[in-house]
Structure 1
Amino acid sequence: MHLSFSLFICYNLPFLLQACPIYLTISLDAKTVQDANLEVNWGPECHDHPEWIGIFSEDPSTTYVQPEARITDITNSSGKVLSDVKIGKLRFPPGWNSNDVNVVPSEYPKGKCLPYYVASFNGSELLTVECLKIQTNWMSKLEHIAQMPLKDLFIPGTHASAAYVANLTKTKSVLVKDYVVAQHFDVWSQLVFGMRYLDFSIGFDKIVDVYDSNNADNFCIVNENKLVRPLRNVLKDIKRFVKLSHEVVILDFSSFPIGFYKHPERHSSLLHLLHEEVGDIVYTRNTSTHEEAKPCYELTIDEIRSNNKFLIILYPVQELPYPESESKILCPNWKRFSTAFMNTSEALDNMRLLFSKKHNSPVQNEGWIFQAIRSMEQSLNNNKLETAKERAAILNPKVTSWLKGPWSLTANVVALDYFSNTNIIDVAIYANMHKAFNMANKNFVNFEIVSN
């Protein structure tokens, strides 16, 4: 008699293992990051409620310290409470600040806590501890994911990534403050926190040099049809970060709303700028006619980094004249989906269709980008012109909550405005751990027992 059985290893995401998962986010209730308050979040599936949750400036599991804020009456399975603790001046560890020069930073494969901790208690018994953290090296250090194609990874990102203002208090334009700015943090800080996809809309600024239409410094970041900042400095920050971290980052040149219509030569000039600033660290595609080139979404992190390359550039190559349209440093755009003109229930229905990957889903075995955003026009449908922060404050927590279930395992790129009021980076890391574990153990152990 032959008896055969299979041994499976049960694996759950870490945030499902905790009795009551808790985490910190940064609220969108202030004009600047320094004035923003910390939010305490708990759930999902928080059934064994702690008696209280505290915010600390040091790790309460290693140091006795009084809480800066204390939250009680936790009864719901999930929730969010705005504390009165402000972020203040945010500093990263040495070497990871944008103005740190000639400082070799430490690697943090498991993340690095900033001095903002949240802990849950029953009386004086410590139950769980979490922190606001940076994830500078998560992609290059997470076990097994380097062998997975990009299309199979959950890649957290930002929409309108460079639409930020360094000092909002000095900005007089209400239009810029409330509607053009889409991120609390600059691109450097977004990468330090753990974002690995950046979305850029590009405009051509004729004022920079009216006598030279090919001047690379004419290219600016655009949002809501307004020029925000020069592109060149953003590219310099990205290059410096990936050389320090060895992380793979996707740059998506998604639209060209100002100055590009009927000007293919400006696309050529922009390609020249990309070669000049980041050409040495961009993955170079195999375009040999003797071998079918692998789509960029099929590439693994190991393949991209094999020749000290770290960037993937997505670009509408059809906009470029020949032969630039066959540039080896550009990858054709991936499929892109947006909730910009949807209300909340429509956004949920859209996610259900996309993330299910059923036969009727427009997403199958390919790279794709989900932009969880709301447009100004959509907010007017509610008879109120909501600011960018107000729109993100409503949509972001819902999207990240929906992603904490099975959808995290089918997600590819997810991009947000004002990501700081979510823990999407941790959600993506945990999902990728799960995916990598499944890949590494797909050949489960099979035992055969033979009995006479």
Structure 2
Amino acid sequence: MAVSWYAVLALAATALGATIGPTEKQILEKSACGRVWVTVHSPEIRLAASVTLLDAVELNWDFNGCFSTPTQIGLFDDRPQSWNNALAVFRVTSVEGHVITNMSLGAGTLPAGWATGAGTKGPQCLWPWVAAGDNNEIRAFNCLKIQPTWMEDAGPKINNLRIGDLAIAGTHNAGAWKFDTEVSSVSRDSFVLCQDRSIWGQLVHGIRYFDFRIAYYDFYDKEEDRYWLNHNLIRVRPLVPLLREIRAFLDVTREVVFLDAHHFPVGFYQPDGAPIRSVHTGLLQIVQRELGPHLALANQFGTGIGTRGPTLQTLINANKRLLFSYVDNSIVSQNPWLWPILPHLWANTNSPTELFQYLDRAIASSPSPSARSPLFSAMAQTTPTVLDILFLRGSLRDNADAVNRNVTARLATRWRTQANIISTDFFLGNDVVDLSIMISVERASRL
């Protein structure tokens, strides 16, 4: 990481949003130089012939630019006070790196009341904590967090930013997190599921952009049951319950959410490519019914071609905090409340090297002066080939593990000034949420 910072995240804030001087118990992240953070290993780890470790906790560090580097890093199950309380300690022999522990995150139950509804505002810690230092002193610590109200928490600092100037954590194929069909409830597979947290869970962790792939199946009796979230041609989950999770979250927070109808793989088009307008109309009616009170209409809040969109404050003042983008321009032209297609920076490669070469160029040259949308999304994941799938070479979890650490590093450095939305698979394997918050605050400080 080319820059270093002193990071302190405080839970307490006044009703006006001013930070109260945090007590030691309220500090979740601290470092005089460099940084440590916790992630979750996306692939399974085989420990023995019939024993696997799921969701192993990873400890990460970056002390580039610091006068000295800690000599050890440790895993804790509470705020680090002493090395005597560490669950495991590892030697640090490089200025940046990571270690995969032999301890699982476990259920990852959302803390502070957020498991079933609105909980305590502000960042909150799950059980894994990380600390780094030497034998006598802990110099840096952090925890695996949820960030359910990060926009409101940082509101006094970031609300004057336009939406195109935010840094936003997003999820690719956001609805593909667990099968919910008549024949399957599988939660782990190789080439369909891209996430492992529900839409509600993603929101509570701090994700604010959702890439939805919506399909239509006319063999269901009820109209609303015909709309599904797919991964390409594979049905994963019905759409309406996921929209209701978004609605429930918006009802109890002041956050702004970006929903992107990115692809319609089944049922929306004739064989010649012509849109089936009744199917599109049915989807729009469902979205308006389920999310209507929160919809920020493009014909009210849009700011024109080549601009960066409304400020957060504008959306919050109007209490319209859901922007719905639509990939089909012909449908957008007939429904001006829809936000136009946003550019998706997609490398279409299964090579991490080619992915980052592409994204480095694409992010540096974005946004386009002629873009109709104020937003753009870097699709920071690799894409398996047909042969990968046919011959079961690797998995989406392996692919995510091969890129997520570099996504964190790139966002902290090369992409820091230009990136808007960063969409990833298995987002707990990177630190995009916390970095996006830091970067948004940085950008706002320059206004």
* TM-score (ref. length: structure 1): 0.82
Whole-Å Cα distance in 1 between the matches of residues 172 and 394 of structure 2?
17
The one of 54, 64, 67 equivalent to 2:86 is 67
Shift in CA distance, 404/354, structure 1 to aligned 2, threshold 3 Å: same
SS in 2 for 1:22: strand
Equivalent residue, structure 1, for 2:165: 152
- Whether 2:149 is the aligned partner of 1:137: answer yes
Structure 1: give runs of 5+ residues left out of the alignment.
1-10, 440-452
Shift in CA distance, 363/284, structure 1 to aligned 2, threshold 3 Å: closer
**What is the CA-CA distance between 1:339 and the residue it aligns to?**
2.4
Moved more, 302-311 or 219-228: 302-311
Code of the aligned partner of 2:319: N
- Whether 2:267 is the aligned partner of 1:259: answer yes
Alignment of 1:50-449 (within 5 A): 50-61=70-81, 66-72=85-91, 74-97=92-115, 99-100=116-117, 104-108=118-122, 111-142=123-154, 143-165=156-178, 177-209=189-221, 215-262=223-270, 263-286=276-299, 297-320=308-331, 325-341=333-349, 343-357=351-365, 366-377=374-385, 380=388, 385-439=393-447
Whole-Å Cα distance in 2 between the matches of residues 300 and 359 of structure 1?
17
Q: Does the 8 A contact of 1:146 with 1:300 survive in 2? A: yes
- Whether 2:37 is the aligned partner of 1:42: answer no
- Once superposed, what is the RMSD of the aligned Cα atoms? 3.3
Code of the aligned partner of 1:131: C
Structure ranking higher on relative contact order (CA contacts 8 Å, 6+ apart): 1
Whole-Å Cα distance in 2 between the matches of residues 78 and 299 of structure 1?
38
Code of the aligned partner of 1:393: D
Whole-Å Cα distance in 1 between the matches of residues 207 and 71 of structure 2?
34
Shift in CA distance, 326/300, structure 1 to aligned 2, threshold 3 Å: farther
Whole-Å Cα distance in 1 between the matches of residues 36 and 346 of structure 2?
29
The one of 35, 40, 63 equivalent to 1:21 is 35
Whole-Å Cα distance in 1 between the matches of residues 166 and 229 of structure 2?
27
Q: Structure 1 vs Structure 2: percent identity of aligned residues?
A: 24
Whole-Å Cα distance in 2 between the matches of residues 274 and 296 of structure 1?
26
Larger radius of gyration: 1
Moved more, 271-280 or 353-362: 353-362
Equivalent residue, structure 1, for 2:10: none
Instruction: State the Cα deviation string for residues 148-184 of structure 1 (Å, max 9, x = none).
Output: 111111111000001011799x95879x711111101
* TM-score (ref. length: structure 2): 0.83
Equivalent residue, structure 2, for 1:6: none
SS in 2 for 1:298: coil
SS in 1 for 2:435: helix
Whole-Å Cα distance in 2 between the matches of residues 294 and 105 of structure 1?
39
